[in-house]
Amino acid sequence: MISLTTWVLTIAILALVIAFDLGLAILRRDKETSVLEAAFWTVFYIGAAIVFGYFLPHWASAQGQKEFFAGWLTEYALSVDNIFVFIIILGHLHVKKEKQQLVLLLGIMLTIAIRGALIPLGAALISRFASVFFIFGAFLIYTSVELYRGSSDEEEWKEGRIVAKMRARGVSTFAIALVALGITNLIFSLDSIPAIFGLTKNPYIVTTANVFALMGLRQLYFLLEGLLKRLIFLSKGLSIILAFIGVKMIFEALHGIGVDAVLGIRVPQVSLEFSLGAIITCLIVTTVASLTATHGIAGAE
């Protein structure tokens, strides 16, 4: 059980880091982010997440540490896929390079706020209705199928009705970009929250894994912008991860209602160690396969 003091200190520290990032984005709002700068801050935030997870057992537990890394890796991978959609949206809207920093950070802060509202709701549903795992699991499997089918159609992003109406009324490109990212973030959150609850039910782990996965995405955006055409199998890899977590949630739901076998076949218990290994393996295979398949593209560029 995480103490109130630990909660307050964690949220305060994370809020300070986010405030620092916001201040940095405001100060550099009229400057383009170099690849070197983006790489430095990306490594910094990834390192911060790893350090946090390494020391987590001192105030949580060893089990909590495994859950954090599994949740953080899953959410970070989903965030990378989201970034590619952000690249397409901002490019479609013709947002100036020097203005993208502030748009991205405000969009990420909006994502944190959305997930901050959805996490307590998810935790409350799970604590009251164990069968909600059936719904979450089925939703993730459905999402994985849709992601697998539509992974090659991401470049065909089109404006929604709200964005189109705002453009027709002369609303600034900056405001339109914020609305577009906000709507996209809400849709993405509906996938990511059930996904991490399939790995841990601890609200503290869910919250910290989500925040660490979102921190530094502004810089990661500029780092990955040139890789949009290379990570061609990322969406397919993520669809496999979501399907895996969805099936795992259904298994847990069956055990939760006392069903240990279906048609004489024992319902397996999927350990967190196996889940973590499966997620890491899927991400590595997806990345290597993508970079290998697009090696010729990189050479041509």
Instruction: Give Cα separations from 268 to 54, 200, 251, 261, 274 (angstroms).
Output: 29, 17, 7, 9, 12
> What confidence tens digit (pLDDT) does each residue in 97-150 have?
767 777 877 777 787 788 888 888 888 887 777 678 888 889 889 888 888 886
Tell me the residue length of the chain.
301
DSSP state of 34: P
With a CB cutoff of 8 Å and minimum separation 6, the contacts of 207 are: 116, 119
Higher pLDDT, 252 or 85: 252
Record the pTM: 0.77
Degrees to nearest 5, angle at CA 279 with 204 and 120: 25
What's the domain range around 162? 4-300
H/E element, 266? strand 265-266
Higher pLDDT, 243 or 170: 243
Lowest mean per-residue pLDDT among 31-45, 90-104, 135-149, 226-240: 90-104
Q: Taking 60 as the threshold, does the pLDDT of residue 61 lie above it? A: yes
Lowest mean per-residue pLDDT among 101-105, 161-165, 188-192: 161-165
What integer pLDDT is reported at residue 160 of this predicted model? Answer: 61
Average pLDDT, the chain: 82
Number of domains in the chain: 1
